[in-house]
Structure 1
């Protein structure tokens, strides 16, 4: 008889990152927040490519236009627009007709009509490509034809006649960029500073932490006002100011993690092998603080967005015609009675972004918790 052979299958283990990803995927609020953040980012960065308007394009005929899915202008109001254009050209509108996106207007005057009169019809947002179809022999009557330029404003327009949809997209670009850039600045400075301070300890740690406390004592708004006075308002300045403050809390968190890590066995083994302090910090301390740091970054990003919105609300943020969600909310709050949509739409995207970031942060905290491994 032959001995039965036992087939041993290779068992593939899962890394800590794969286990964390599995736990994160099972967290429905965190996944919903991730999907929502992706949709908001696509809306903000890819949306302007599918909208024909620019963020600084002014439609003088559609100031504080309410949101609507119907095209503008309203066909019933086109004759009034043509009458107003004829009045500015100092002629009379005898007849006006719209058919299949084109208009035909007959103008008359007691004096010979100049051919340059068509410029008054092209200057309004409702008409374009106006041409002279027929002119009377005495030039006292003229027939004009052109196209009716229809525009769509799903989010309405602001007090200057700019498309709010495009401005909300622009606000998302600036707010998200400020949040991510300032968080990366705080991440780069805070992690290295905190890990170095916690690992070296002693007098070096004492001096480095006193510097952090001194910087903490500086009033943030006063610092922003001073820098705006000296350097002017710009997006780069906002990156620098917010990043220069946010790294302080990051440094404290990383220092606390480092104080507990430097007593672990693997750090002692690295010291016994002759590694330098910087090599130990770079290879062992910083990688082992990534879990708490990633979770804290998801808290820093909404905090930075709130800070930038607060500065824009005070008028210290981005400068017109650029806009962030904070500046749009500030403008909407000032016109909430006459045009509430100016406040509603940027607030919706702002709140959705903050909630999504908080859900993602909670999901990462649970996924990276060593007690669940």
Structure 2
């Protein structure tokens, strides 16, 4: 009897609740497609931003000897082409190639002339990308014949080179930096402007709301391409103009979404309680309205980033985006389409990175939408 009384007298253990954000995070982590897409997106970002620090070639480095060479995991040059390259270099020096031998990493060549060979002529042998470090090791026939030894430069081009002799790998890396940076910066600009504009318009209401929304509709009526062309005409082609132009247009959708959410929130009980506590309108918007619109905003951002990347690629495709030697995925794809039959790798590899990134962003957006859906809470 006493034990039962003690048990009944003991307070029940407190049950720890789970916040809505914790539940949303748990649902997002269980979404296999979204997590796989997030992993792929991280890999693409690391490849684009960190790859240029460790890769031996730069995006604007030109290899005249390797123009439009196909992708290969084996090093260039090919052994069957070395003698012809050496022959051409020797003829430019107005000399004669008597013998040539290569063993994979070094070469020896016997060169002759009707008069003594000038030692400075070895500079001609180092000009091709295939050779380096030429030096005379022996002299014969009163200096009219010399033996030269040097190194063979092995170069790897896993994605091939373009028609200017530039390695495609670092150009895809730099293109990823530009595309992802423009996508994130333009989205950030549209996020800041759109959320603030929509929250103020929806919360204040009345004539202020009407005027602000009419201004949005006027901007909607302006053709996007006309707006970009006007910026290019007045300010020139500049990297900053790309995300400035895109961000100046894409915030309109964000403003309308936030305005709709604000109209449904402004009559809620917690907003009335904030009014009763004496908070100003701006404090209510900043502390209560905007944080409660973050769910739809986050989902829309994941949709907006790939849309901005597509717009940047479209502008670069038309020649209004980044200019040489800088590049983007859109510029690389535009360049690849002009010679897709002769050099298909110039189109295939940038398109793969571009499509994979867009799919990853869309799957992440779907995962966030499902995780933040109020019906699943």
TM-score bracket relative to the smaller structure:
over 0.9
Aligned ranges 1:1-373 → 2 under 5 Å: 2-3=2-3, 5-6=6-7, 8-373=12-377
Residues 137-189 of structure 1: per-residue CA shift (max 9 Å, x gap) = 52211111111000000000001000001100110010000000000000000
Which region of structure 1 is more displaced relative to structure 2, 320-329 or 97-106? 97-106
The CA deviation at 1:2 is 4.3
Residues 79 and 104 of structure 2 are in contact (CA less than 8 Å); yes or no, is this contact kept in structure 1? no
Query: Quick one: distance in 2 between partners of 1:52 and 1:267?
Result: 58
Structure 2 gap ranges (5+): none
* DSSP 3-state at the match of 2:142: coil
Query: Quick one: distance in 1 between partners of 2:185 and 2:13?
Result: 48
Query: Quick one: distance in 2 between partners of 1:153 and 1:12?
Result: 57
* DSSP 3-state at the match of 1:230: helix
How many residue pairs get matched?
Answer: 373
* DSSP 3-state at the match of 1:105: strand
Query: Quick one: distance in 2 between partners of 1:44 and 1:100?
Result: 32
Structure 1 gap ranges (5+): none
Query: Quick one: distance in 1 between partners of 2:375 and 2:96?
Result: 83
* DSSP 3-state at the match of 1:94: strand
Query: Quick one: distance in 1 between partners of 2:14 and 2:203?
Result: 41
* DSSP 3-state at the match of 2:232: helix
Query: Quick one: distance in 1 between partners of 2:240 and 2:16?
Result: 48
Query: Quick one: distance in 2 between partners of 1:196 and 1:98?
Result: 74
TM-score under structure 1 length normalisation = 0.98
Query: Quick one: distance in 2 between partners of 1:362 and 1:60?
Result: 46
TM-score under structure 2 length normalisation = 0.97
